[in-house]
């Protein structure tokens, strides 16, 4: 799943009931995260649900490229994880640090339609991803 597809699909859905269903469906498309990675060290702090995020690093043209696996115990949050990973997965550390994810969330009006707790959790995921990328620069 890439973020362009997500944005396009959101544009076809008029009401937020359908968009919530779509977010839940996206969560079912997450790349499977092995149980061995769903450990305390990979927990994202600040989320009301349990969220795990594991980062692996490879190299492309001499630059660090990050790949993320994520999971949650809540269906809607799994969808938010999927959207977040669609934004950041397989990007270089520099691309991640420079990327404005909030502009994407504004485009699909996501923050206005999720609870404050879920928005805080989303911020925690973004901070974790950016910190992982920043540490590689």
Which residue numbers are catalytic? 47
User: Would you say how long the chain is, in residues?
Assistant: 137
d(CA 17, CA 61): 43
Q: How many CA atoms lie within 13 A of 32 on its CB side?
A: 3
Count CA atoms within 13 Å of residue 60 on its CB side.
10
Q: Supply the DSSP string of 85-129, one letter for each residue.
A: HHHHTTEEHHHHHH--HHHHHHHTT-GGGS-HHHHHHHHHHHHHH
């Amino acid at each position: 799943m890439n973020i362009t597809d997500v944005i396009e699909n959101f544009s076809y859905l008029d009401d937020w009931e359908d968009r919530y269903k779509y977010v839940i469906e996206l969560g079912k498309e997450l790349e499977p995260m092995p149980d061995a990675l769903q450990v305390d060290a990979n927990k994202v702090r600040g989320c009301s649900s349990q969220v795990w995020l594991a980062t692996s690093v490879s190299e492309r043209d001499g630059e660090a490229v990050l790949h993320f696996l994520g999971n949650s115990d809540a269906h809607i949050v799994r969808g938010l994880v999927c959207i977040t990973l669609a934004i950041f997965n397989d990007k270089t550390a520099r691309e991640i640090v420079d990327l404005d994810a909030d502009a994407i969330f504004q485009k699909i009006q996501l923050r206005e339609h999720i609870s404050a707790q879920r928005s805080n959790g989303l911020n925690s995921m973004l901070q974790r991803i950016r910190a992982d990328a920043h540490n590689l620069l």
